[in-house]
Amino acid sequence: MAKEGVETAEETEHMIEKDGGKDQESVLTAGDTKEMRAVVLAGFGGLNKLRVTKKVMPEPLEGEVKIRVKACGLNFLDLMVRQGNIDNPPKTPLVPGFECSGIVEALGENTKGFEIGDRVMAFVNYNAWAEVVCTPLEFVYKIPDDMTFPEAAAFSMNFVAAYMMLFEVANLREGMSVLVHSAGGGMGQAVAQLCSTVPNVTVFGTASPFKHEAIKDSVTHLFDRNVDYVQEVKKISPEGVDIVLDCLCGENTGKGLGLLKPLGTYILYGSSNMVTGETKSFFSLAKSWWQVEKVNPIKLYDENKVIAGFSLLNLLFKQGRSSLVKIVVDKLISLYNARKIKPLVDSLWALEEVKEAMQRIHDRGNIGKLILDVEKSPTPLMANDSTETSEAGEEEEDHEGDTDNKERMPFIQ
Amino acid sequence: MAKEGVETAEETEHMIEKDGGKDQESVLTAGDTKEMRAVVLAGFGGLNKLRVTKKVMPEPLEGEVKIRVKACGLNFLDLMVRQGNIDNPPKTPLVPGFECSGIVEALGENTKGFEIGDRVMAFVNYNAWAEVVCTPLEFVYKIPDDMTFPEAAAFSMNFVAAYMMLFEVANLREGMSVLVHSAGGGMGQAVAQLCSTVPNVTVFGTASPFKHEAIKDSVTHLFDRNVDYVQEVKKISPEGVDIVLDCLCGENTGKGLGLLKPLGTYILYGSSNMVTGETKSFFSLAKSWWQVEKVNPIKLYDENKVIAGFSLLNLLFKQGRSSLVKIVVDKLISLYNARKIKPLVDSLWALEEVKEAMQRIHDRGNIGKLILDVEKSPTPLMANDSTETSEAGEEEEDHEGDTDNKERMPFIQ
């Protein structure tokens, strides 16, 4: 899918005379081909590489569902993709985005189980940030009637990853304790909510102080992200914790392993150190990602510890485990229907405001998930020069680099 | 407890004029102190370091249960202890053995829940191979009326370790697959039986060909231990397996990790490479144990894999997790009562036959667990010169080193 999507972007790039703003008609070679708005990343780099253009609307292949997109999830991973700071980055130009919600508009052959008009959420291997998305039906899930589209777009990635890490990798049970970084983010909130579905689970979380009031009900012990969380946890629980969910990597892997109780599980689910203000160069950032210390299995044996890695996108798109994920989504929807979990949406942004949205996640300003609302018009109050889709100068790029990055953001899967 | 036990051995060593055979009275300094028979390891080394002597009978301290021992489990770990080939080996002389069954003979203060006459099995931090054992009540469990003492001595270590690895570390569920080495050993059989309590679990196992007929009902796919098990597994399941239980370590860690499906778990629970015939020197053996390759957490992230280490003895005696183990023992006894599991006893040996028993486990001759039967007299037919407790010459030692070790034995916890 992703590959097809990327090819589409490449194929149609030449058809678009120039970057198309909302009001600008593109010239298309195929006479009756429909078009759509999409966020396009022209090349890896800063916010100025993003723009909204018109693109050829995809049509569903066999086994694919065509979705009229209402809302898209914005994840930390999208910032890393923008920078090209991922393993085997795809070719640019590309349409970013891995999750969306919307209404089924058309169906390819062999898409039993779905009907036009179905309200759905979906994973996409890139190409989510567009008015229309086609993705294989194995990545599409019907949503409850009372789940809003922004909620649905905030749901799939964070809650599926949190659920699988807590319950399938780490085997969370009654009375256990969990440490999660960036507890105020979309992922952190999904973790905290899922922990609350198990009796007597203690959640330790780090977050910027201004978020503490908003998230204090979901996190048992909140620490300022600038303090030494190892010491803070040990003050409260000298024995450590049962589960550490780490999105920071680097030296935090050793810290996290050190905090585990016997039989405890450390899960690395991403790194966000790479885009903090302290290290501006992509190369040094990428290097820090790889500088995590290797783990000696004999030490794990001596200490009765477990270390795991979790990447939902790899699981879905590289390792063909969509059937496992489907089961998890069903369980999560049951929990949603039982009002035990509810995605926390931080804010809605028009496609044209994607840069401001990215800046907000980069600056760690969000509490919960940032959503691109496809039908939303840019908010005049929030629109300044940099919200224009046509150009974003180097000044903004510098601004991003100099941002006072007080909080490490989660690498949300 | 272990430390106390070792101290007892040291303290009483001077009281024993010379190595006491069964018929030989020791001279004891304390007039009314009772004595008992015990297997003593005089120093680290070969079989000739083992003898049966009389020792001062321990009396229970506060919180301890005094057990009249009926049967003791013999584990691969005991061979490693004999060689001193473990981390931080205790001082010799010592009484080996980590598990036993018997009848409660006396109780220290604060041992509520137990009564004299209770049939029990117990973990001991050394000192199990004796007529009497004292151990804290947290390590003592009542056994069902119809569980024989040899069964009970074969039960605790292997089934608790197998259960915790399969269900607490690895989260075994319906439809999964498990690879276990030395499927014919006590541990391998515990793993296979516990796998059979979950619907539709596939067990891949390695074992010497002569064992295949005996264990074929408990293992779905049996391989000769001399073949390349990676290729054999992949022929049957190209995707690999969900759980790898590895007692071989060294290069097998990489092989095991490579065989995992996404979300699969590799558990290192010991090494038996150390005492194979290929490497005769203790030092080179110990080195191979440490030569396991370190694991990069980022690789785990990319591949969605889990690596764990498990040491039941560390969990019990270093990490204070006896309450967790108690819960597991209760579950296992329920499974035993429901006739879903049953320890497989290979053979019974008198204390005086401990060398032959060790040789048998070393030579990989056993199918199931070897038990020291404390009330058994040495079998005349099996007794040759080397069964005498007084001495075992270097010839036997050489024989052990030269043994054609076709099968790696499990490091049974």
Q: Is B292 on the interface with A (CB under 8 A)?
A: yes
B/e letters for A167-179, b = 16+ CB within 10 Å, e = fewer, are bbbbbbeeebbbb
> DSSP secondary structure string, B180-239?
ESSTTBHHHHHHHHHHTTSTT-EEEEEE-HHHHHHHTTT-SEEEETTS-HHHHHHHH-TT
Report which of residues B125 and B271 the model is more confident about: B125
Above pLDDT 70, what percent of chain B? 79
**Partner-chain contact A297 B294, CB within 8 Å:** yes
Q: Nearest CA to CA, how far is A381 from chain B (Å)?
A: 41
Q: Nearest CA to CA, how far is B300 from chain A (Å)?
A: 5
Specify the residue for token string 């780099």. Answer: A45
Residues of A in contact with B289 (CB under 8 A): 298
Question: A295-334, pLDDT tens digit by residue?
Answer: 888 899 999 999 999 999 999 999 999 999 999 999 999 9
**Partner-chain contact B303 A324, CB within 8 Å:** no
Classify residue B277 as exposed, middle or buried by CB count within 10 Å of its CB (0-12, 13-18, 19+).
middle
pLDDT of residue B291: 63
**Partner-chain contact B296 A300, CB within 8 Å:** no
SS3 label, residue A159: helix
C-alpha to C-alpha distance for A189 and A346, rounded to whole angstroms: 11
C-alpha to C-alpha distance for B410 and B181, rounded to whole angstroms: 7
Residues of B in contact with A295 (CB under 8 A): 294-297, 307
Q: Nearest CA to CA, how far is A311 from chain B (Å)?
A: 6
Cis ω for the linkage preceding B93 (within 30 of 0): yes
pLDDT of residue A122: 98
Q: Is B253 on the interface with A (CB under 8 A)?
A: yes
CA-based nearest residue in chain B for residue A172:
B168
Question: B223-255, pLDDT tens digit by residue?
Answer: 998 899 999 999 999 999 999 999 876 778 889
CA-based nearest residue in chain A for residue B271:
A298
- Look up residue A185 and give its DSSP letter: B
How many degrees, rounded to 5, is the angle at CA A56 between CA A122 and CA A120? 15
CA distance to A109, A210, A217, A278, per residue, from A366 (Å): 41, 10, 17, 20
**φ/ψ bin of A165: left (φ > 0), alpha (ψ from -120 to 50), beta (otherwise):** alpha
Q: Is A309 on the interface with B (CB under 8 A)?
A: yes
CA distance to A407, B226, B347, per residue, from B258 (Å): 36, 19, 36
| Confidence tier at B8 by pLDDT (50, 70, 90) | very low
Cis ω for the linkage preceding A93 (within 30 of 0): yes
Sign of CA dihedral B250, B251, B256, B262: positive
> B114 with B77: CB under 8 angstroms?
no
Q: Report the predicted TM-score, pTM, of the whole model to 2 decimal places.
A: 0.84
**Partner-chain contact B294 A295, CB within 8 Å:** yes
pLDDT at B379 over 50: yes
Task: Write down the H helix ranges in A164-228.
Answer: 186-195, 209-215
- The residue ranges of DSSP E strands in B75-116, in sequence order, are 99-107
CA-based nearest residue in chain B for residue A313:
B302
Residue A1 CA from chain centroid, whole number? 18
Count other C-beta atoms under 10 Å from residue B304's C-beta: 23
Q: Nearest CA to CA, how far is B344 from chain A (Å)?
A: 26
Q: Nearest CA to CA, how far is A165 from chain B (Å)?
A: 10
C-alpha to C-alpha distance for A395 and A47, rounded to whole angstroms: 10
C-alpha to C-alpha distance for A89 and A85, rounded to whole angstroms: 7
Give me the residue from A306, A319, A324 closest to B169, CB to CB: A306
Identify the bridge partners of residue A180 per DSSP, sorted by sequence position: A205, A245
C-alpha to C-alpha distance for B40 and B92, rounded to whole angstroms: 9
Query: Considering only B31-45, B145-159, B252-266, which range has the smallest mean pLDDT?
Result: B31-45
> DSSP secondary structure string, A346-392?
EEEE-GGGHHHHHHHHHTT--SBEEEEETTPPPPTTT--GGG-SS--
> A158 with A188: CB under 8 angstroms?
no
The A residues from 170 to 189 touching B (CB cutoff 8 Å) are: 171
Which tokens in the block code for residue A30? Answer: 């195929």
Give me the residue from B265, B268, B297 closest to A301, CB to CB: B268
Q: Tell me which H or E stretch contains A39.
A: strand A35-41
The half-sphere exposure of A77 on its side-chain side, counting CA atoms within 13 A, is 24
**Partner-chain contact A319 B302, CB within 8 Å:** no
pLDDT at B394 over 90: no
Q: Is A270 on the interface with B (CB under 8 A)?
A: yes
Residues of A in contact with B265 (CB under 8 A): 306, 308
C-alpha to C-alpha distance for B58 and B66, rounded to whole angstroms: 8
> B241 with B259: CB under 8 angstroms?
yes
Count other C-beta atoms under 10 Å from residue B250's C-beta: 18
- Look up residue A123 and give its DSSP letter: E
Q: Is B411 on the interface with A (CB under 8 A)?
A: no
Terminal Cα distance for chain A, rounded: 18
Cβ-based contacts under 8 A for chains A and B: 132
Cα-Cα-Cα-Cα dihedral of A298, A300, A301, A303, to 10°? 120
Count other C-beta atoms under 10 Å from residue A44's C-beta: 16
Closest CA to B233 of B217, B214, B246: B246
Residues of B in contact with A171 (CB under 8 A): 168, 171
**Partner-chain contact B249 A298, CB within 8 Å:** yes
The A residues from 119 to 158 touching B (CB cutoff 8 Å) are: none
> B214 with B236: CB under 8 angstroms?
no
Residues of A in contact with B164 (CB under 8 A): 263
Closest CA to A176 of A261, A238, A258: A261
The half-sphere exposure of B273 on its side-chain side, counting CA atoms within 13 A, is 21
Closest CA to B257 of B273, B244, B276: B244
| Confidence tier at B18 by pLDDT (50, 70, 90) | very low
Sign of CA dihedral B407, B161, A258, B322: negative
CA-based nearest residue in chain A for residue B169:
A263
- Look up residue B102 and give its DSSP letter: E
Terminal Cα distance for chain B, rounded: 18
Residues of A in contact with B294 (CB under 8 A): 294-297
The half-sphere exposure of A293 on its side-chain side, counting CA atoms within 13 A, is 11
Question: B68-124, pLDDT tens digit by residue?
Answer: 999 999 998 898 899 887 778 899 999 999 999 999 999 999 999 999 999 999 999
Q: Residue type at A113?
A: G
C-alpha to C-alpha distance for A306 and A170, rounded to whole angstroms: 9
How many degrees, rounded to 5, is the angle at CA A354 between CA A348 and CA A355? 125
Classify residue A339 as exposed, middle or buried by CB count within 10 Å of its CB (0-12, 13-18, 19+).
exposed
B322-337 and B156-163 helices, crossing angle to 10°: 100
**Partner-chain contact B309 A292, CB within 8 Å:** no
Tell me the mean pLDDT per 10 residues along chain A, length 413: 37 38 42 87 94 97 98 92 84 97 98 98 97 98 98 96 97 96 93 98 95 94 92 97 88 90 94 44 49 83 95 95 97 98 96 95 90 89 42 37 35 35
Question: B302-325, pLDDT tens digit by residue?
Answer: 999 999 999 999 999 999 999 999
> A356 with A384: CB under 8 angstroms?
no
Q: Is A319 on the interface with B (CB under 8 A)?
A: yes
The B residues from 48 to 67 touching A (CB cutoff 8 Å) are: none
Residues of A in contact with B310 (CB under 8 A): 301, 304
The half-sphere exposure of B77 on its side-chain side, counting CA atoms within 13 A, is 24
The half-sphere exposure of A351 on its side-chain side, counting CA atoms within 13 A, is 31
C-alpha to C-alpha distance for B133 and B122, rounded to whole angstroms: 9
Query: Considering only A92-96, A306-310, B38-42, B400-404, which range has the smallest mean pLDDT?
Result: B400-404
- Look up residue B94 and give its DSSP letter: B
SS3 label, residue A65: strand
SS3 label, residue B411: coil
The A residues from 96 to 115 touching B (CB cutoff 8 Å) are: none
**Partner-chain contact A169 B295, CB within 8 Å:** no
**Partner-chain contact B299 A292, CB within 8 Å:** no
**Partner-chain contact A308 B307, CB within 8 Å:** yes
Q: Tell me which H or E stretch contains B265.
A: strand B260-268
Report which of residues B25 and B165 the model is more confident about: B165
Q: Tell me which H or E stretch contains B292.
A: none
Report which of residues B207 and B412 the model is more confident about: B207
CA-based nearest residue in chain B for residue A257:
B297
Identify the bridge partners of residue A207 per DSSP, sorted by sequence position: A224
CA-based nearest residue in chain B for residue A171:
B171
SS3 label, residue A9: helix
pLDDT of residue B288: 55
B76-83 and B354-362 helices, crossing angle to 10°: 110
Q: Is A86 on the interface with B (CB under 8 A)?
A: no
Identify the bridge partners of residue B243 per DSSP, sorted by sequence position: B178, B265
